[in-house]
């Protein structure tokens, strides 16, 4: 028998796998080219191109403005500080959710995720009620934070706590704890064993979570617009102001390009650092790693995480609920069922069903596109084109949502892409934001799967689809459900792009809330709080269902 035959067969299987990987990339590449690159290029071209040609000198003019330099500096440093604070506060929570089994865990996990899907304008208003004039802190202790950057930083931690807990905790729960226990048996302290064994294994997930938090805080819009006042402004706020208030598309286009270049550099750095640290890991079923806390230290850690969730996450939500109940007899909720032709063509309450329909469609699109992209990016020795696509998948989180939404209106207005009157336009915009979450949630787990398992299955004649179904899927099913939950949550709360493309007769919940907040009067403000409370309840129920599916038969309390 030819002894080289297995090697030849293995090489053929690898070539077949590479061809299948490029085939998997076709749909994601086409999706991002048509619904991201094309609209963004259209809006940038509209801003920089005049009747006499390209006005590239406008870039230098904008960069020389002191106000723009101040905005760029504030945008950068607050994003770094917000990311560091979020990691510091949320990593203990990721450990608790990954390693501890306790009564009420599913409810607590849902509470952690709900803030992430709230419209930014609502959260900004809730924090203003907490830390502003006449707010809770002002009433109790005479303390106001609305004139400081701390209100913005705390609101960013409020939003992104779930990103770290679910992204890092998802991988942490599947790491074999026996590896750390072996290091301790060899004489390493608990801290040293965690630092030298667990932390390197978690590095890709921590880096992915940090990247997502940085992107969200770098492009922060609603929070900074409400809490920042005239003192603080991010690039996203300035792009919106230049587009919607001043109608200066050239300045907005330049700011979009600056944002694009800055985040492109961050993504390239992330791809390089994470690729150096990724290794094959020993993954186990998450149900065998979660144990009931034992000892005073573990119970104290659990209590500290619960207290953090209560003060940082639940308290602002409680403020929203209380405000929605200020009118006697649930007056604000009853007002949602009435017709109001001045703002809506349908009763505001119909925005609930409309948002759920859009979110389901957007989740399906994001999961399909994201899963294909993550599978294609599994191999770390892929070519430069594949590595570049890894970074490009994150750009929708970094490019201004205002630019994307406005670009949809400008670019997708002619056959065969005349989608302005189609309902699918909103889910497409929401899916753009959901795909990066699917990719970044699934990719660390997919890359942690031992590649020899796939190669062995391929050598035995399994097709790429069968390899995925029988090797990858059992290990990544948890990550896939988490990714779907993230995509659904993001779709429900997306506002920046949707505000431009949602039809008046089919408003989403965030758009409806923003419209009500933009009108004077206690009734409109109360209805906005009532809709926000309904959004919280809808998200909590959806997330609890997801948790029940994800933890089914795990034996958790």
Residue 5, burial from CB neighbour count under 10 angstroms (0-12, 13-18, 19+): exposed
Q: Identify the residue whose tokens are 């061809």.
A: 19
Tell me the average pLDDT across 389-407.
Answer: 75
d(CA 60, CA 353): 47
d(CA 85, CA 213): 10
The token duo for 392 is: 């490009």
The rounded mean pLDDT for the chain is 77
The token duo for 505 is: 């007769």
Nearest C-alpha neighbor of 112 from the set 187, 72, 153, 162: 162
d(CA 46, CA 50): 8
| pLDDT tens-digit map of 301-349 | 889 988 998 888 888 888 888 878 888 888 889 888 876 545 667 788 8
Which range among 152-156, 193-197, 235-239, 396-400 has the greatest average pLDDT?
Answer: 152-156
Q: At 284, is the pLDDT very low, low, confident or very high (cuts 50, 70, 90)?
A: low
Instruction: Pick 189 or 377 by higher pLDDT.
Output: 377
Q: At 143, is the pLDDT very low, low, confident or very high (cuts 50, 70, 90)?
A: low
Q: At 9, is the pLDDT very low, low, confident or very high (cuts 50, 70, 90)?
A: low
The token duo for 94 is: 């990721």
pLDDT at 364 over 90: yes
* CB distance 366 to 435 below 8 Å: yes
| pLDDT tens-digit map of 40-97 | 888 777 767 665 666 666 677 777 777 788 888 899 999 999 999 999 999 998 888 8
* Number of other CB atoms surrounding residue 332 within 10 Å: 24
φ and ψ of 261, to 5 deg: -65, -45
pLDDT at 499 over 50: yes
Question: What is the DSSP secondary-structure string of 469-486?
Answer: IIIIHHHHHHHHHHHHHH
- Report the relative pairing of strands 49-50 and 53-54 from DSSP bridges: antiparallel
CA distances to 70, 102, 192, 302 from 296, in Å: 48, 15, 21, 10
Which range among 154-163, 220-229, 414-423, 440-449 has the greatest average pLDDT?
Answer: 154-163
Tell me the whole-structure pTM to 2 decimals: 0.73
d(CA 480, CA 367): 8
CA distances to 28, 253, 355 from 489, in Å: 21, 29, 11
3-state secondary structure of 448: helix
* CB distance 249 to 46 below 8 Å: yes
pLDDT at 554 over 50: no
Find the angle CA(306)-CA(310)-CA(313) to the nearest 5 degrees: 115
Instruction: Pick 397 or 35 by higher pLDDT.
Output: 35
Tell me the average pLDDT across 123-147.
Answer: 71
Residue 155, burial from CB neighbour count under 10 angstroms (0-12, 13-18, 19+): buried
| pLDDT tens-digit map of 444-484 | 777 777 667 767 777 777 776 777 677 777 777 777 887 88
pLDDT at 90: 92
d(CA 542, CA 122): 20
d(CA 399, CA 436): 13
List, in sequence order, every residue forming a beta bridge with 283; answer none if it has no partner: 175
400: left (phi over 0), alpha (psi -120 to 50) or beta: beta
Nearest C-alpha neighbor of 308 from the set 523, 85, 542: 85
- Least confident interval from 193-197, 213-217, 278-282, 360-364: 278-282
The token duo for 129 is: 């009620």
Q: What share of the chain has pLDDT > 70, as a percent?
A: 78
Nearest C-alpha neighbor of 511 from the set 520, 500, 523, 525: 500
- Least confident interval from 95-109, 167-181, 267-281, 498-512: 267-281
pLDDT at 283 over 60: no
Compute the chain's Rg from CA coordinates: 24
Residue 53's H or E segment, with its range, is strand 53-54
Q: What share of the chain has pLDDT > 90, as a percent?
A: 7
Question: What is the DSSP secondary-structure string of 223-243?
Answer: HHHHHSTTT---HHHHHHIII
Q: At 427, is the pLDDT very low, low, confident or very high (cuts 50, 70, 90)?
A: very high
């Amino acid at each position: 028998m030819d002894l080289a035959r297995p090697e030849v067969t293995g090489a053929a299987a690898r070539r077949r796998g590479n061809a299948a990987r490029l085939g998997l990339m076709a749909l994601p590449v086409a999706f991002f080219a048509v619904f991201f690159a094309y609209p963004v290029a259209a809006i940038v071209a509209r801003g920089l191109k005049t009747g006499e040609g390209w006005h590239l000198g406008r870039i230098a003019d904008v960069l020389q403005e002191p106000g723009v330099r101040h905005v760029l500096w504030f945008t950068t440093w607050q994003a770094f500080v917000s990311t560091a604070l979020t990691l510091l506060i949320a990593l203990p929570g990721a450990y608790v959710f990954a390693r501890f089994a306790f009564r009420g865990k599913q409810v607590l996990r849902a509470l952690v995720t709900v803030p992430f899907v709230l419209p930014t304008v609502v959260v900004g208003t809730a924090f203003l009620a907490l830390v502003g004039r006449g707010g809770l802190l002002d009433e109790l202790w005479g303390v106001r934070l609305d004139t400081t950057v701390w209100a913005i930083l705390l609101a960013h931690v409020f939003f992104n706590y779930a990103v770290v807990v679910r992204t890092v905790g998802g991988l942490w729960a599947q790491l074999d704890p026996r590896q750390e226990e072996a290091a301790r048996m060899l004489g390493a302290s608990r801290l040293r064993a965690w630092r030298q064994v667990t932390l390197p294994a978690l590095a890709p997930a921590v880096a992915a979570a940090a990247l997502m938090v940085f992107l969200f805080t770098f492009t922060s819009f609603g929070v900074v617009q409400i809490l920042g006042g005239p003192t603080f402004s991010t690039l996203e706020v300035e792009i919106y102001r230049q587009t919607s208030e001043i109608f200066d598309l050239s300045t907005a286009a330049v700011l979009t390009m600056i944002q694009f270049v800055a985040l492109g550099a961050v993504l390239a750095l992330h791809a390089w650092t994470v690729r150096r640290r990724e290794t094959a890991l020993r993954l186990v079923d998450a149900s065998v790693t979660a144990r009931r806390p034992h000892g005073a230290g573990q119970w104290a850690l659990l209590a500290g995480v619960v207290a953090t969730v209560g003060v940082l996450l639940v308290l602002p939500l409680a403020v929203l609920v209380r405000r929605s109940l200020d009118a006697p007899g649930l007056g604000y909720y009853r007002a949602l069922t009435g017709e109001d032709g001045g703002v809506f063509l349908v009763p505001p309450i119909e925005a609930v069903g409309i948002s759920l329909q859009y979110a389901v469609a957007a989740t399906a699109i994001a999961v399909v596109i994201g899963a294909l992209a993550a599978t294609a990016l599994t191999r770390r020795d892929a070519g430069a084109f594949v590595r570049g696509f890894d970074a490009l998948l994150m750009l929708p989180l970094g490019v201004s949502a205002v630019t994307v939404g406005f670009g949809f209106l400008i670019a997708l207005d002619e056959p065969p892409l005349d989608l302005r009157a189609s309902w699918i336009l909103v889910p497409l915009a929401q899916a753009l934001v959901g795909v990066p979450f699917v990719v970044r949630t699934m990719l660390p787990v997919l890359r942690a799967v031992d590649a020899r398992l796939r190669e062995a299955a391929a050598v035995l004649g399994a097709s790429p689809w069968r390899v995925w179904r029988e090797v990858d899927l059992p290990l990544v099913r948890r990550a896939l459900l988490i990714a779907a939950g993230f995509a659904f949550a993001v779709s429900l709360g997306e506002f920046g792009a949707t505000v431009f493309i949602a039809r008046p007769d089919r408003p989403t919940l965030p758009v409806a809330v923003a419209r009500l907040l933009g009108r004077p009067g206690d009734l409109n403000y109360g209805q906005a709080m009532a809709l926000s409370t309904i959004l919280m309840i809808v998200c909590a129920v959806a997330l609890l269902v997801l948790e029940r599916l994800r933890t089914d038969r795990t034996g958790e309390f």
